[in-house]
Structure 1
């Protein structure tokens, strides 16, 4: 018999903290963006509307979490979305133990039909990976209710499947790209170093440096980094650092920080979250590309299986060997 608890306050994240990530590792959607640390920080810093976290249990064991919220969209309709959606969480989904998905999806549908759910007009679940069970079973259940579900392509995440050595990685690249990368790596010698944030006491200062580099990269990134987003980046960096998942890396030229990457390392994958550089002064060194190459090399040395560029089809990701993983949005209307 499945029992469902519905949490309506952020206390849910603390109440489920001891079980949340263990369930995530038993699910088909094991990604850093669904960890309790990420979800709790996102909701605290960027969440809006009414929170509803469904926790499903069989014989006392947690088998499902549906982290939902209800908020008014740009069209004035109350929309059901996943905590983390959208803009800064690259992969999202429900968190259901493998084999329990059909029963858990049924619980979600029954909840949405009940008076316990806030009145809503639309569903929009973003950033669902192409292999997600949600794109099959849940769509069928929504359509059976007459809620007109549809799945629409949203974006891609170029991913490198890493080999055992850096030489083998270079051999995977197109010949022209390989020679160009090797040339850039040779040129970036001398007083050039890659450093990492390893001290909690320097994290806030290092994040200030990272955000400054990010804003210097392009007008779009500068506009994106609003005061609220700045607070989120500091908060999520702290949460990821404390969990052991943050990789904040800088390329220094004569001890001056010329480029930076804010990455996450989780379950054998390095995820490239955002970057910054000073293009006007150090363009001759291609600091961003040199730093990425060194981080790929480190990922291989550390035994990582994937180097994930996350959302966006920027050309450089394919030059480094990225192959697309597709993401979809599931939408429905009453």
Structure 2
């Protein structure tokens, strides 16, 4: 056991490194219990996300997961990484790095000494690896824990803010007051107009699917709707990346079975014209994906579905509607507060660490120059354009 808080002798923890998949699989029930008891855990590090991702993307890779146990042997924190090759050695990336919006650990942050030991273990990873990368650390974790921890550390690091995170916080269940505070008279009038015009086209209805069977049976409709939207055509859609279809077809039903997913559709007659994929927490809703049929963009189907789902979340007592990273125009307009995610590369003080840092810095400058020279727009630019059209 590692004594963590000398002022409280009864508080002691054990830090473990898990490097075998079979060992981590045996911890899944405990990971589930920890995740379920926390008020606001990283939704992308739920057991469903982690093990579905590993099934598709983890084959042939080496894992390293940091585990913290309390004195009573209860699991108190976990932070999973995979080993990647680099200049002169190996580095570490977090799991779900290509499909997540957050990458901070799952930890009981109200348990004194728990996160401190986890961060000691995180820092200790540099003894065996020449860098550790965390792409999307939530600002709350950064400000409370990681930034103070790194303040006196001599290792070189790269820090940046890759994305803003807009959120809508509902103070009560009066959605109309919130909506009027965020939408001017002309915007509300236009919204009522597109609602009426869509109803004139045919029967309009909204449907939510939250059980495993319902979600599984509607994945085909989601794929088909994606193919009729601009995101798939520009390869920024839900299924655009390699392996995404197999991964999501395993993940989404599993999330629904755990009560952590809502798949919502807007139908015109029997044709789905918009779909929203939402992540469910205790008092949290995360807007993971929104798509619509390009043929109906004049009717703003995405906006209509979003507004309906925001009202539902407010009225069912979910106080936080997280738009997730990306300062798109519609997110900023509807948000009541703004946060950020932080990206961190931490490098070992060695020749390998130095060469890796120089390589990453060079790649960042090269990509930035290519975007400027070729006029390449970022995903945020395209998403903002999509929302303005809708």
TM-score by length of 2: 0.75
Partner in structure 2 of residue 308 of structure 1: 322
Work out the CA distance in 2 between the residues paired with 1:215 and 1:251. Answer: 16
When structure 1 is superposed on structure 2, of 48-57 and 286-295 the one drifting more is 48-57
Q: Following superposition of structure 1 onto structure 2, how do residues 48-197 of structure 1 map, counting pairs within 5 Å?
A: 49-59=61-71, 60-72=73-85, 78-85=90-97, 87-98=98-109, 99-100=112-113, 101-113=115-127, 117=128, 120-132=129-141, 133-140=144-151, 144=153, 146-162=154-170, 163-175=172-184, 176-189=186-199, 191-197=203-209
SS at match of 1:90: coil
SS at match of 2:228: helix
Match of 1:288 among 290, 295, 302: 302
- Structure 1 residues 97 and 5 mapped into 2: Cα distance closer, same or farther (>3 Å)? same
How far off its partner does 1:153 sit? 0.8
Work out the CA distance in 2 between the residues paired with 1:212 and 1:37. Answer: 24
Residues 15-59 of structure 1: CA distance to partner in whole angstroms, max 9, x if unpaired? 222322443467696121122222222222223631011222232
How far off its partner does 1:181 sit? 2.6
How far off its partner does 1:165 sit? 1.6
- Structure 1 residues 250 and 224 mapped into 2: Cα distance closer, same or farther (>3 Å)? closer
Runs of 5+ consecutive residues of structure 2 not aligned to the other structure: 3-13, 349-390
Contact 1:268 1:305 in 2 (8 A): yes
Work out the CA distance in 2 between the residues paired with 1:272 and 1:242. Answer: 19
Work out the CA distance in 2 between the residues paired with 1:124 and 1:200. Answer: 34
Contact 1:20 1:36 in 2 (8 A): yes
How far off its partner does 1:198 sit? 4.4
Contact 2:66 2:79 in 1 (8 A): yes
- Structure 1 residues 322 and 192 mapped into 2: Cα distance closer, same or farther (>3 Å)? farther
Residues 194-241 of structure 1: CA distance to partner in whole angstroms, max 9, x if unpaired? 012245444334112112222321222359524511111111101111
How far off its partner does 1:325 sit? 1.8
Contact 1:13 1:36 in 2 (8 A): no
When structure 1 is superposed on structure 2, of 270-279 and 20-29 the one drifting more is 20-29
How far off its partner does 1:191 sit? 0.7
Residues 75-106 of structure 1: CA distance to partner in whole angstroms, max 9, x if unpaired? 78632122222x31111212333222222211
How far off its partner does 1:164 sit? 1.6
Work out the CA distance in 1 between the residues paired with 2:150 and 2:57. Answer: 28
Work out the CA distance in 1 between the residues paired with 2:92 and 2:285. Answer: 30
Work out the CA distance in 1 between the residues paired with 2:317 and 2:131. Answer: 43
Runs of 5+ consecutive residues of structure 1 not aligned to the other structure: none
Which entry has the higher C-alpha Rg, 1 or 2? 2
- Structure 1 residues 309 and 167 mapped into 2: Cα distance closer, same or farther (>3 Å)? same
RMSD: 2.5
SS at match of 1:263: strand
